[in-house]
Amino acid sequence: MGYRVNASVIFDMIFMVVGGLAIFLLGMNNMSSGMQAIAGDRLRQLISAVTNNRFMAIAVGFLVTGIIQSSSITSVMVVGFVNVGVMTLTQAIGVILGADIGTTVTGWILALDIGKYGLPLLGVAGLTFLFAKKEGLRYTALMIMGIGMIFFGLELMKNGFKPIREIPEFLALFARFTPGTFGGLMLCLLTGAFVTAVVQSSSASVGIVMGMAATGVLKFDTSVALVLGMNIGTTVTALLASIGTTTNAKRTAYGHTITKIIGVLWVLPFFPLFLSIVVYLTGNDPGTIRIENGAESYPYIVHSIAIAHTIFNIANVVLFTPFIHPFTRLLEKIAPEKPFQEQPRLTRYDIRMLDTPSLIIEQSRREILHMGERIILMFDHLQKILHDENHDKDAAKMIFQYEEELDTMQKEISIFLVDTIPSDITHEQVREAQSQLRIADEYESISDHITTILKLHLKLDMAKIHLTSEKHDDMLKLHERVVKYFFLVHQSIEKRHPEELTKIYAEGNTITHHFRELRSDHLERLSRKKLDPLMSVCYMNMLNAYRTIKDQVQNVAEVLAGEKQR
């Protein structure tokens, strides 16, 4: 009979713990989605603020992780940014160190003793989310609903763990996890690392430990040892994200793992002292028992675990910060460059980047800037070719190469944004994503027309036909005006300050007028003098290509002006 009772208790415990864990994880996801939607623009500004200043990078990592409430998402995001060339290795190491501190915020949220309010919070926020019409209110409700689910899920897990104290077999099993010996300490570390690697969320695994500790199943020293191991286990997510990426992205993932392992190694010899410091800072004995309604609870142990988690990560960041640059050089030796040239941008599409849709929009904006830089280079090479009849053939090859690269970049930007638009992002972010799709398409078309002009010039060159000096000069002047027009609009994207539409229209109309003058002059010459048919056709097609480029640049300007007026 006792066996049946124990079996029933075990099944009830498993269902409650698994259900609580699922609600907890859904809460983390909802809270993260809500925070990203509310603070999406701030997230993008933070990522844009990352520089080679180590302290700035650390601050950005802390703030971003504090907002999205997941160091795993931050680490995957950083690996993705390094993979596509948006972030350098030095910047990435700084951001990841900051993320290590940011992830401790979740522990402090869990340490708040408001688990009993989780379900009411979930109910009120859930109803608000379902019936609210204002977008800002709905995403705020989604964030609060996530917080309610976190507390409710944690409360379910705590209640699920309580029967363990009545089952001697389980108590005997957990009694083995005692960090009193070196072997026991290593067992706790490895167990914590394994659980987090499986769950793929250090916040969830820390929540499980806090739930078990709050009910007395785990002692304080065991809980801290498990949490230290979980700090290593959380790096598995970044390692998985680095599979198939560039060498720099792999270095970033390796750096994340190495910093955690070294951090745990320096704590091991001083583990008892580390615990004493935590107890001193807590001001209360984590083993203190309180009796409420006939049930035992440990009111200080959860706070003590949160303090231990925070102290460990802050100390680790302080330890590594002075050595970020030497550490970067060490990673370069651990993962040396490959003998072939790697494509640094948009060569791998990592679906896990969809966990941060607002940052994908920022990444695609940067890739559009890269497309613009390629177009400016194409214009420069084309100008050299038009200016010098005996041009370097490598310039023509570069134009064709850039045109192919822009085709690839436009396709992959589309993949990013089309998959991002259905995500939990605001209407404003949806409009921006749609605008970026339009701009990327226009930029790719501009590269096609630059290539068309080159082909027409090469056709004349192969036929040994040359434009008259007057037409040659006219073509160069038109080229310069179109390039300046493109640069004016492209700077608007870079500076996030679109020029006034009236100014852009005025410049565009001037170019159109110039085109019409050249066309009329050419047609008039045809009526007075016989010109080579091939030269005439190629010249007119080149003029038409420049006008089309002007129209496409103006389309981009209208998109930007539309964003500003919204």
CA 424 vs CA 37, 64, 418, 450: distances in Å: 7, 17, 13, 38
CA distance 487 to 98: 37
Q: Around Cβ 140, how many Cβ atoms within 10 Å? A: 19
Cβ atoms of 138 and 30 closer than 8 Å: no
Closest residue by Cα to residue 362 from 1, 86, 60:
86
| 389: its two tokens | 């009849």
Cβ atoms of 251 and 331 closer than 8 Å: yes
- Which pLDDT belongs to residue 119? 83
The residues that bridge with 291 in the sheet, in sequence order, are 296
Query: Pairing mode, if any, of strands 290-292 and 295-297?
Result: antiparallel
Q: Report CA dihedral (314, 317, 322, 325) to the nearest 10 degrees.
A: -170
CA 189 vs CA 33, 102, 177, 178, 216: distances in Å: 31, 21, 10, 11, 20
Q: How many residues does the chain have?
A: 566
Closest residue by Cα to residue 452 from 544, 550, 555, 552:
544
| 213: its two tokens | 């500790």
At residue 297, the 3 state secondary structure works out as: strand
Using a cut of 0.75, tell me whether the model's pTM lies above it.
no
Q: Around Cβ 256, how many Cβ atoms within 10 Å? A: 28
CA distance 555 to 168: 74
- Which pLDDT belongs to residue 549? 94
CA distance 346 to 444: 15
Half-sphere exposure of 131 (CA within 13 A, CB side): 6
Q: Around Cβ 417, how many Cβ atoms within 10 Å? A: 22
Cβ atoms of 254 and 261 closer than 8 Å: no
| Phi/psi of residue 295, nearest 5 degrees | -115, 145
CA-based Rg of the chain, rounded to a whole angstrom? 31
CA distance 32 to 139: 10
- Which pLDDT belongs to residue 474? 87
Cβ atoms of 89 and 252 closer than 8 Å: yes
Cβ atoms of 47 and 359 closer than 8 Å: yes
Q: If you search the block for the tokens 């890739």, which residue do you land on?
A: 367
- Which pLDDT belongs to residue 552? 93
- Which pLDDT belongs to residue 22? 85
- Which pLDDT belongs to residue 178? 79
Q: Around Cβ 167, how many Cβ atoms within 10 Å? A: 15
pLDDT in tens, the chain (566 residues): 444 446 677 777 788 888 888 888 788 778 777 777 776 666 666 766 666 678 888 888 888 887 776 777 777 777 767 766 667 888 888 888 888 888 888 778 777 766 677 788 888 988 998 888 887 788 888 888 888 888 888 778 777 777 766 666 655 666 666 787 888 889 889 988 888 887 777 777 888 888 888 877 788 888 899 999 998 988 887 787 777 667 877 888 898 899 999 989 989 888 999 999 988 888 777 777 666 555 556 678 888 998 999 999 999 999 988 988 899 889 888 888 765 444 444 434 444 455 566 667 777 787 888 899 999 999 999 988 888 766 667 888 899 999 988 998 888 888 878 877 666 667 777 888 888 899 999 999 999 999 999 998 888 888 888 777 888 888 889 999 999 999 988 888 877 766 566 677 788 888 888 888 888 888 887 767 776 788 888 888 999 999 999 999 999 988 887 754 44
- Which pLDDT belongs to residue 169? 60
Half-sphere exposure of 189 (CA within 13 A, CB side): 18
In the chain, domain spans:
2-334, 356-565
Burial class (CB in 10 A: 0-12, 13-18, 19+), 184: middle
Residue 52's region, left for phi above 0, alpha for psi from -120 to 50, else beta, is alpha
Q: Which fold has domain 356-565?
A: Methane Monooxygenase Hydroxylase; Chain G, domain 1 (1.20.58)
Closest residue by Cα to residue 512 from 551, 471, 560, 561:
551
Helix axes 2-38, 202-214, angle to 10 degrees: 130
| Phi/psi of residue 510, nearest 5 degrees | -65, -40
CA distance 30 to 139: 9
Dump strand ranges (E) for 348-430.
none
Q: Report CA dihedral (214, 112, 67, 89) to the nearest 10 degrees.
A: -40
